[in-house]
């Protein structure tokens, strides 16, 4: 990996760790480059505009997403419906993206689109820099993808 | 005296978490109202007595910045203390929101204990 991609991977891990520990009470164990995810994983993606612009995606198996949602909302897993689970996945993506962007540039603000359920990569081709990591936890796996472009 | 709080966030999950935090934090909560964007929040502010507003920034229809501009331009509404709760940690945005009248700025992810304490401080300052 290049130095810049190394930095992106580190920021991605730091951001996700911060969000999961403080909002979902979950700890990351380690990470590897992304593998091919099962088709039934839940996913969510959003785009950000600024300098630089890009996209952020997050996906997880239903069982993992359910645990995240239960911890985030302080509810029992059995009480949650599909909409609540997806809503939390999208909010975690939103917060993690904001956390990564604060590391990219702490001075300037970025405009974020609302998270879109069912996406992991965006249709836009950014293609300048990108990193995708699978994070392991005791409870399962989570994947995140960060794409950086140059357009404003 | 209990305070009526309006939570403005397009995420139902965040609104639910905020409501739970306010319930258990010891904050003297009156009515807890919710809006999914700035437009809906303004409609609520026109008809309900609200003591404190907690608003996100990135929202559809009317974002938090435009919402704050609307509040700032209204002689009655601008007396209501507003706390911003957002993923945006940039100094640029924080300065802009403070200049529009925001009395507090908390970034996500947040530690639940900070929310109740920040709101209690806002109430105290507004007395």
Which residues does chain A have within 8 Å of residue B17's beta carbon, measured at their own beta carbons?
72-74
Alpha carbon dihedral B96, B99, B103, B104, in 10-degree steps, equals: 20
pLDDT over 80 (residue B24): yes
Q: First and final CA of chain B: distance in angstroms?
A: 11
pTM metric for this prediction: 0.88
Half-sphere exposure of B27 (CA within 13 A, CB side): 30
Task: State the best of B9, B12, B13, B63 to mutate against chain A, taking most chain A CBs within 10 Å.
Answer: B13
Whole-angstrom distance, CA of residue B49 vs CA of residue B82:
14
* Nearest residue of A to residue B94, measured between CA atoms: A109
Q: How many CB pairs under 8 A join A and B?
A: 71
The per-residue pLDDT for B102 is 95
- Does the structure show a pLDDT above 60 at B18? yes
Task: At A41, list the tokens.
Answer: 């994983």
- pLDDT band of A152, cuts 50, 70, 90: very low
Q: With contacts defined as CB-CB under 8 Å, which chain B residues touch A104? A: none
Chain A residues inside the 8 Å CB shell of B25: none
pLDDT digits (tens, 9 = 90+) for A29-69: 989 988 777 778 999 999 999 888 899 999 999 999 999 99
pLDDT (0 to 100) of residue A125: 53
Instruction: Please tell me which residue of chain A has the smallest CA distance to B110.
Output: A22
ipTM of the complex: 0.82
């Amino acid at each position: 990996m290049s130095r810049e991609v190394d930095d992106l991977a580190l920021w991605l891990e730091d951001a996700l760790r911060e969000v999961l520990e403080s909002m979902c009470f979950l700890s990351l164990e380690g990470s590897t480059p992304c593998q091919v995810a099962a088709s039934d994983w839940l996913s969510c993606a959003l785009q950000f505009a600024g300098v630089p612009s890009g996209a952020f995606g997050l996906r997880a198996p239903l069982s993992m997403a359910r645990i995240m949602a239960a911890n985030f909302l302080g509810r029992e897993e059995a009480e949650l419906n599909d909409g609540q689970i997806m809503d939390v996945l999208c909010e975690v993506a939103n917060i993690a993206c904001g956390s990564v962007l604060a590391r990219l540039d702490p001075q300037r603000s970025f405009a974020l689109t609302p998270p879109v359920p069912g996406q992991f990569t965006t249709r836009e081709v950014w293609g300048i820099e990108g990193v995708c990591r699978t994070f392991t936890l005791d409870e399962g796996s989570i994947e995140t993808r960060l794409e950086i472009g140059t357009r404003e | 005296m209990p305070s009526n709080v309006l939570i403005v966030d397009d995420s139902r999950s965040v609104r639910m978490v905020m409501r739970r935090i306010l319930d258990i934090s010891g904050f003297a909560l009156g009515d807890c109202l919710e809006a999914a964007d700035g437009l809906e929040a303004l409609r609520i502010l026109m008809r309900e007595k609200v003591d404190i507003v907690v608003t996100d920034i990135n929202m559809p229809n009317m974002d938090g910045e435009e919402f704050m501009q609307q509040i700032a331009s209204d002689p009655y509404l601008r007396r209501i203390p507003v706390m911003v709760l957002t993923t945006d940690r940039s100094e640029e945005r924080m300065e802009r929101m403070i200049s529009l009248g925001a009395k507090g700025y908390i970034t996500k992810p947040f530690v639940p204990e900070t929310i109740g304490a920040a709101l209690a401080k806002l109430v105290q300052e507004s007395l």
